Structure 1
Amino acid sequence: MSAAVRKNKYNVRDLFKLQRTEVKSTNHCCVPLCSASGLYNSHLSFHRFPKKTSLRARWLHKIRRAGFSVTPHTKVCSRHFQDNEIHTTAKGRRVLAAGSVPSLFEWNSYTTKSWAGVWERRSRPPSPGPDSAGPVEDIGHPVMVPMVVDHDYGASRTVCVDREQYEDVLSEIETLRVQLQTFNLHHSFGLKRFASSPEDIRFYTRFFSYEHLMAFWNLIEAATAKIVRVTRSKKTDATSTTTESPLTRPTKLLPIDELFLFLTYLSTGFTQRELSHRFNIHRTTVSRIIITWATFLYSLLGLVCIWMSPAAVNASLPHDFEGIYSDTQVILDCTEIRCQTPSSLLLQSEVFSTYKSHCTFKAMVGMSPHGALTFVSALFEGSTSDREVSRQSGITSLLTPDMAIMVDKGFLVDDLVPGNVHRPAFLSKRAQISEEDVLKTQSIARLRVHVERIIRRVKENKLFDTTIPLSIAGSINQLFTFACLLSNYQNGPLVKKWRYEV
């Protein structure tokens, strides 16, 4: 390397060596952009940070060194303090006045002068006096109205606007308010949104119209005050000594919207996650609402006696049953709903149905001759036979010798019931059924088909068209029973000319 190159290359520290050393001091200022040092300037004084925590925090805030670690050797030079904040003692030492804070820095040009704002720097015409005469009012100009504003942007606290513009703005605000309410109504998934659409009411609730749904709500509304809700945790006597009123208990939805959610769950078969998105609530809240209302409505409608006396049945007996079938009290049939296959082989063998070739739950449904549902059993395993379901369902205890039942071929219950059994004839090792048996089978099938129609009404609830998950197996009995009982409130008669009384 040449001598010329070595001469141009120098260290920054060499600059200080060229300065004149005045005192032997190692003090230097910790403020950013300040290079003051006591080694080369004897006119500056250096001051330690105060011991008081609040005052020290103000110093750090002023010098703009957040998170800076202060040591006993950290000091600030006197050029950052005002002249009246530094005093000289009798011994010639310069000390700070109590409570002094550095305020002069490179970024404020070492001054504390405050600049006037835009409003102060802008010139304004003088305000008219109270006695000065105003301009002559022009009839052709629009009338001005005063309007008080929130912020004082002018010399006066009031401004004037055009009356026509003012009224147009008010009209626009009212229009936007109505649009906002309509928008919220259309985007909130609840009963009010579909009140004016009978098709949507039938789709989501299976009720014929909004009026029919409200009639059912009026029947059960008083009982909802005593509903027992499923909550996240159970209160014990040790932790709770008061009972919370169902009327004052906070809920995510109104009771009628909770009923609408429950009916939507039955009718559409939506998953709980989908319902949580539609109703804008948590999925666990949907689960608690479903279990709560399933238990509540199962208990409430279960208190209503749907079994009819022979006199009531005869009073509503259709003409099609007159004759040899006039003693028919109930028409019985079994139905099955699919369920999720259990992992246990033992449980699989119990719920597997050879008729459906799938794991199912099985129930018996009975209807009176005029079409009202009058009996529904609990759910049994799919492997249970029709005879065993008839024996365990409790239907035999309701029958008397003067009551006849109408069943399908699989119901071999002649020894279980005290009365007659109207059942289609069997071939029974004969080469051909007799003409009399054919006519009997046709007449029974023509009347017994109506129980299939009432079962179809129950299964119009799409929940039972899907495979029932085992996660709701604990409440599926309540759900199915309520769907059967609700069919008497949702629908009209199976045949229009039949009288429908329960």
Structure 2
Amino acid sequence: MPYCCVPGCTSYQRKESDKNISFHRFPSDSKACREWTVKVKRDIGPHFQITDNTRVCSKHFTQDCIICSLTGLHRLKRGSVPTLFTWCCELKPRRTLQRHQGVCDIETLEEEEEDQHLFPDQNTREEKEKQKEIAGLTEENENLRSQQFCLQRFQCEPKMILFYTGFKDYETLKALYLSLQPTAQSLVRWSQMQRLNKTEQTVTAGFHVHNICLFDQFFLFLCRMRQGLLSTDLTVRFNLSKATYQSDMYNLG
């Protein structure tokens, strides 16, 4: 009994007799026979020979290729070629690129279309992980800022302002600072003034510390005066090096 010679096809005439599937011989024309051989992906050799029992079933032909007679027999139209195969559905879409180079012939390049559905989950997962990491760092940064020992941290806590500075609330403290600010901006350390007097140089810049703003320097001074905080404690609270505190802040307290 004939069977379908297409790789992967299991059609067998005895088994398929009641399923309206027909089996067709290879064409006698050598050119057409070779075309069928190429289409079904078979190479004539020791493992494959075309005989009278070598058939291709109707599953691999389009409907317009098959003619049904009044007696129920099926035959192929002249020139029909098998084109329906399982591997055709598995192939990735291709695109053809044409490139012109002066008078040179057109070079046609076939390259596989990148399958955009292979890695979407991985890309989305990596993007979500990055966003999660950024959100975590942002939250950590906000937490560190909220824990920083400075006036901004206590501006809504009158009890803490009173405890560290002696002023009843932030607004009162700020009002005093604004009244002193012009003088504070031109303030010169005692040690700096001694050096200037020895060299007879003119004061060109006021006292300032780059590590913390002037308002927080005033807050540091009040903490030392109000609570008697030691220099080591103040350097830790205000995130200052001991050298910076001793050289730039000590003369304030």
Alignment TM-score, normalising by the size of structure 1: 0.25
Alignment TM-score, normalising by the size of structure 2: 0.45
